[in-house]
Structure 1
Amino acid sequence: MNAPVQIPEGFRQDSKGRLVPEDTIKPIDLVRDESVIDLIGQAKQAQEHLKKFKAIAFAEITAFIDLSLKQFDVHIGGNKGNITLYSFDGKYKIIRQIQDTIRFDERLQAAKILIDECIQSWSVDSNNYLKALILEAFQVDKEGKISTGRVLGLRRHDFDDPKWLKAMDAIAESINIVDSKRYVRFYERDSEGKYQAISLDFANV
Structure 2
Amino acid sequence: MSDANAVPAGYMQDAEGRLVPADKVKPQHVLEDQMVRELAALAEEESCRLAALKVNIKTSVDAFVELVANQYGITRGRGRGNLTLSSYDGTIRLQVAIADFIEFGPELQVAKSLIDECLTDWSAGGSAELKLIVNDAFRVNKAGQLDKDRILGLRRYDFPDLRWKKAMEAINDAIRVQKSKEYFRLYRRGGADEDFRQIPLDIARV
Same fold (TM over 0.5): yes
Q: Could you say if the C-alpha distance between residues 185 and 131 of structure 1 is closer, same or farther in structure 2, counting changes exceeding 3 Å?
A: same
Q: Which amino acid aligns with 1:92?
A: I
Whether the 8 Å CA contact 1:97–1:182 is kept in 2: the answer is yes
Q: Give the stretch that moved more between structures: 134-143 or 144-153.
A: 134-143
Q: Give the % identical residues.
A: 33
- 3-state secondary structure, aligned to 1:187: strand
- 3-state secondary structure, aligned to 1:103: strand
Q: Could you say if the C-alpha distance between residues 197 and 142 of structure 1 is closer, same or farther in structure 2, counting changes exceeding 3 Å?
A: closer
- 3-state secondary structure, aligned to 2:200: coil
1:188-203 matches, within 5 Å, as: 188-191=188-191, 192-203=193-204
- 3-state secondary structure, aligned to 1:68: helix
Tell me the CA shift for residue 187 of structure 1: 0.7
Question: For 1:66 and 1:96, how far apart are their aligned partners in 2?
Answer: 15
How does the TM-score come out when normalised to structure 1? 0.72
Question: For 1:123 and 1:21, how far apart are their aligned partners in 2?
Answer: 73
Tell me the CA shift for residue 149 of structure 1: 1.9
Whether the 8 Å CA contact 1:137–1:146 is kept in 2: the answer is no
Tell me the CA shift for residue 90 of structure 1: 0.5
Cα RMSD (Å): 4.0
Question: For 1:33 and 1:120, how far apart are their aligned partners in 2?
Answer: 63
Question: For 1:169 and 1:77, how far apart are their aligned partners in 2?
Answer: 31
Question: Unpaired segments of 5 or more residues in structure 2?
Answer: none
How does the TM-score come out when normalised to structure 2? 0.71
Whether the 8 Å CA contact 1:62–1:79 is kept in 2: the answer is no
Question: For 1:72 and 1:203, how far apart are their aligned partners in 2?
Answer: 42
Question: Unpaired segments of 5 or more residues in structure 1?
Answer: none
2:10 is matched with: 11
| Number of corresponding residues | 202
Q: Which amino acid aligns with 2:134?
A: L
Tell me the CA shift for residue 40 of structure 1: 3.0
Q: Does 1:108 align with 2:93?
A: no
Tell me the CA shift for residue 98 of structure 1: 2.4
